[in-house]
Amino acid sequence: MKRKVKLLKLLSWYKKLQEENCKVRVYYARANLQKLLEEKNLIEEEYKESSEYLESKGSFNGEEFRAWLNYLQVLLEFKEIADNKVQMQKEILEKLKEELQSLHREKRLVERFTEKVLFRFNMEEYKRAIKELDELTLLRKGRGLA
């Protein structure tokens, strides 16, 4: 029984370690998502500022106009790529959150089971100690010492 308790404590420690590892991965996924959102916002701001500049300038020659259109097109492509990256990171974050919840449930299950087994082990030890005390008391009475 002692071995079972040790193994369950070890399993409980392992589950706790897994949960902490997953928490770290969730933290880094959130940080990465935040970074991607900031990059996306920078691209959107640059596009907005460029559009406002084009509207305010008024007249361009052909080369200048073509260059600005290409630049805006590139910004739109970057925005689309950033949107895709943000969406992928959100999906990764959701999967990690689900994994974290699952690991937490597993950890709690193992902890509860460990507590039950430990309680049973302690009760058996207590009963064994009471039985030994009763036997000692009977031995003392049998010898006339009590």
Query: Mean pLDDT per 10-residue run, the chain (146 residues)?
Result: 86 95 97 96 93 81 86 94 97 97 95 92 93 86 69
Residues 132 and 12: their CA atoms lie apart, in Å, by: 33
Look up the pTM and report it: 0.74
Cα-trace Rg, the chain: 34
Residues in the chain: 146
Residue 60 is predicted with a pLDDT of: 75
Q: Comparing C-alpha atoms, which of 136, 99, 88 is closest to residue 22?
A: 99
Residue 59 is predicted with a pLDDT of: 76
Question: What range does the domain containing 49 cover?
Answer: 2-143
Q: How many folded domains does the chain comprise?
A: 1
Per DSSP, the three-state class of 58 is coil
Residue 16 is predicted with a pLDDT of: 95
The CATH number that applies at residue 48 is: 1.10.287
User: Which amino acid is residue 11, in one-letter code?
Assistant: L
Answer for the pair 18, 103: CB distance below 8 angstroms, yes or no.
yes
